[in-house]
Amino acid sequence: MSQSVKNQSIEYIANVMKTLGDQNRLYIFSLLSKHELCVCEITAISHLSQSNVSQHLAKLKSAGLVKERRDAQWIYYSLNSQKNPVVSEIIKLIPEPPENIFPTASSGNHSTCKF
């Protein structure tokens, strides 16, 4: 914890809590705590609609909790742990998703998104 979490304003912490206070968003956050994932992978794992996943990711991003990286058609999301000290503290609070729900390396070549 290089920069103290406690230096954040209560307004910001409340916004983080509100953002993660939705079951589906917290679940997406927990997925990203284990692996960087593209939107279609999250959509497949979560059984939410693509539109819904996209909207949840936008809120997570707006709260400074995730970052994105484009690779061809795919946009990969991951937690913003490096820049945001709150993220690593939150990770300690949430249960880890089972590893077997994630696509395997062999299935993840993205010739087409079949997840």
Partner DNA sequence: TTAGTATATTAGAATATACTAATAAGGTAA
Partner DNA sequence: TTACCTTATTAGTATATTCTAATATACTAA
Binding residues for DNA (CB under 7 A):
18, 21-22, 24-25, 38-40, 43, 48-52, 54-59, 68, 70, 72-76, 110, 112-113
Residue 86 Cβ, how far from DNA at the closest point, in Å?
18
Q: Whole-number minimum distance, CB 5 to a copy of itself, in Å? A: 5
Helix (H, G, I), strand (E, B) or coil at 30: helix
Distance (Å, whole) CA 93 – CA 2: 19
The phi, psi pair for 93, rounded to 5°, reads: -90, -20
**Min. distance of Cβ 34 from DNA in angstroms?**
17
Task: Choose among a copy of itself, DNA, none what residue 10 binds, the Cβ cut-off being 5 to 8 Å by kind.
Answer: a copy of itself
Question: What is the rounded CA–CA span in Å between residue 108 and residue 91?
Answer: 25
Q: Which does 8 bind (CB under 5 to 8 A by kind): DNA, a copy of itself, none?
A: a copy of itself
- Among 34, 38, 48, which Cα is nearest to 97's? 34
